[in-house]
Amino acid sequence: MPHRFILRDVPGFALLVLLFIQIQSGLAQNYAWPTNASRLMTSSFCEFRPRHYHAAIDIKTWNRTGYKVFAIDDGYVMRVRVGAFGYGKAIYLKLHDGNIVVYGHLERFWPALEKYVTEIRNREQRYEVDLYLKSNQFPVKKGELIAYSGKTGIGVPHLHFELRNPRNHPINPLPFYRDVIKDDVPPKIYNAAFIPLDYASLINLKPDTVFQDLKGRSQCDIPDTLLFTGKIGVALQVYDHANGYRNRFAFYKAHMWVDDSLVYSIQYDSFSYAQTALIELDKNFSLWRKKDGIFHNFFKLPGNRLPHYRNTPDNGGILDCGQLKEGLHHLKIEIEDFWGNQSTFDMNFRSGQPAHLEYDLSRWIDNDLFLRIQSSRKLDSLVVDSRDSGNWSPARGTRLMGELHYNNVYQYAISVPYSENRSTSVFRITGITPSGNSTFPLYIMPSGSLSPLPDNSGLTLLQSQVKKDWVGLTIRSNQRKPFRIFRGLKEQVPALYWFPVSESIYCINIPAEEYVIRKDFLSQFFESALPEIKVIRPNRKNALISADSLFQVDFPVDALYEETAVYLKKDQNDENILPIEKPYCRIGKIYDLQPFDQPVHDGVWIALAVPDSLKNAPGLGLYYFDFPKKWVFIPSQYDQQQHRFSARVTSMEKFTLAQDTIPPVVLPAQPFKNGILQSRKGFLTFVVKDEMSGIQKESQIEVYVNDRWHLFEYDPEEDIISLKIAKNGDQYSHLKIKVTDNSGNVTQREIRVN
């Protein structure tokens, strides 16, 4: 968006300078395309990555390496980095206009720069280097060859092409190449998710997220009209596409309207690395963690300080039905790619707070079931369905016999010919309000509708869950008229929100803070124990300690974005020692920190003390479970006095101590001849792999040739190291490879090489 200037109290010359700067900033620089590999993208700017945005566009190199990479403008090499992870080999150019360009995953640099970097790596005997250079060391001209594309670091062969402004913030490269990349394909919408956002929010009278499969269409119109109660968020799984690509990209901008009022806008032009973790609020972290896919939140959550949202306020886009008029509303979303290709999403929804129905009189009259229904809301009609062992169907012969209104209560008399519904096991009665909304259903069991109420009926807890800042209890009631006990509970706990799920199953939702205060009171109504939770508040230090005192979680002031209810869930496999992937690895007690689908801001500290049974065990380390893959090593600190591991983590997981006593594997890829390893034109390749704790840093691999440190290349995704050995006539070389895994297990191989 262009800058806005106030044209007063500005000297004439300064005003001309400001106008010139603004005009220049509005024009795209005439940058060269960075490679001869292709003019096709494989990833776009601001795509989702775990805990960060993709800061670049990726350019297709046809799954090959060695394509030429060029300077897009005059400038100089300000930084060179070499590592086995991340961007691998990378060049950072400072351009003459102040912008910075980053080329990542390179195979090698141009000869002069490659020689310079290699000499430093050999001199310092380090695989990884991060060098900052002066402007006169390696100047470049626009179009000059500076490197060759590769696959170093993480990912398949491609060119990572990233632009940053002078403040080192990534900016979208596409405005500089509008005429280079061709695209007339609109984004496609694959799924919609409608999400209840607090304890008193429902969709179609249920507390669950509702999904709609949209089949990858560009024009989507949902025919069903959903009933929203409370606060609802809309999230879409949407990807952009382009000519000649099979890849899926991030969209560029979007807008959302409710009843012709613009409530949400977003556009991806730039961001700060300091804020990149906030992508977990921009995209729906909970759905991603639950393996439902990557969905974009069309609402702005508190704590989201990203610059993408234009004039969208905090909570903008949230459908707050308490603020909307009860009844029918229209929602529309427009999504665009950078070239203006547009997709739309349209739907109608109803908003409102459903009323509960109660019956205060029931009797048989000439084989008809006579009921008197009470409602706090005026009803236009009552819908009566019956069910035997199969599906619901309209009850035959139902009659509405009258309406009364007194003391803000509406009464309706109905009769149901039971003789016409002999196979019925349960009736479901639903009221329809003048706005067209439904009430909560009322369930009647004909065979027991006249039975006396039990004096002491308890609530059986079927399931409990903690969702951010509230607790949901799914229960079974033995009461004939459950309305009475819930109304009694609500008189004692006003914030309690209850609703029926079926004829015998109900939900009680309660804010976490209120739950903690009222837990002892609530427990007397349940036949099983209620979960123990702790409310963690931002701007305060908090801690959570396990029942056995071995596991502790410390929440710093900025650990979480908002008030969150956390708890330690009992794992089904919580014996002291458990086998895991390999029979030679052992695992300790598992501590399951919940809710796992809530994003973490600046991170939390976990500390896990070593139990007496493992205090002398070698190869211990801290791990989390990466579902559905395996246990993953966590870099941690070990306190020798307290015998405990501690680490900062950025998500709530299953944590444990595990023992790894098996050293890494080092296997040559070349054949032996007479006990001497045969190189291929001086090149050697080895498989270097560790099954459990893994290899975290390049420095954990050491290579020596004839007792001198030797440079090598490492591909952690392929578990391969490669090196070149100079031939010395018929003399063989003595090669030593030493690899240390994260648990301290060491493998050392010494081999004669020809």
In this predicted structure, the answer to whether residue 630 has a pLDDT above a threshold of 80 is yes
- pLDDT band, residue 471 (cuts 50/70/90): very high
pLDDT value at residue 421: 67
pLDDT digits (tens, 9 = 90+) for 731-743: 789 999 999 999 9
Using 50, 70 and 90 to split pLDDT, how confident is the model at 20? very low
Query: How many CB atoms lie under 10 A from the CB of residue 667?
Result: 11
Residue with the bigger pLDDT between 204 and 489: it is: 204
Q: Evaluate if residue 608 carries a pLDDT over 90.
A: yes
Rounded Cα distance, 17 and 555, in Å: 50
pLDDT mean across residues, the chain? 90
> What's the pLDDT band for 3 if we cut at 50, 70, 90?
very low
Do you find a cis peptide bond into 354, omega within 30 degrees of 0?
Answer: no
Nearest by Cα to 703 from 678, 686, 727, 728: 686
Average pLDDT over residues 460-486: 84
How far is Cα 427 from Cα 503, in angstroms, rounded to an integer? 9
CA 369 to chain centre: 52
Q: Is the pLDDT of residue 302 over 90?
A: no
For every residue of 687-754, DSSP letters joined together read EEE-SSS----GGGEEEEETTEE---EEETTTTEEEEE---BTTBPEEEEEEEE-TTS-EEEEEEEE-
pLDDT of residue 571: 61
Beta-sheet pairing, 219-229 with 342-351: parallel
Lowest mean pLDDT among 199-203, 213-217, 461-465, 594-598: 461-465
Higher pLDDT, 251 or 425: 251
Kindly report, residue by residue over 553-607, the tens digit of the pLDDT. 999 999 999 999 999 987 655 444 344 545 557 788 999 999 999 999 999 999 9
Which pLDDT score, from 0 to 100, does residue 367 have?
77
pLDDT band at 294 (very low <50, low <70, confident <90, very high): very high
The pTM (predicted TM-score) of the whole model is 0.92
Residue 703 has pLDDT above 90, yes or no: yes
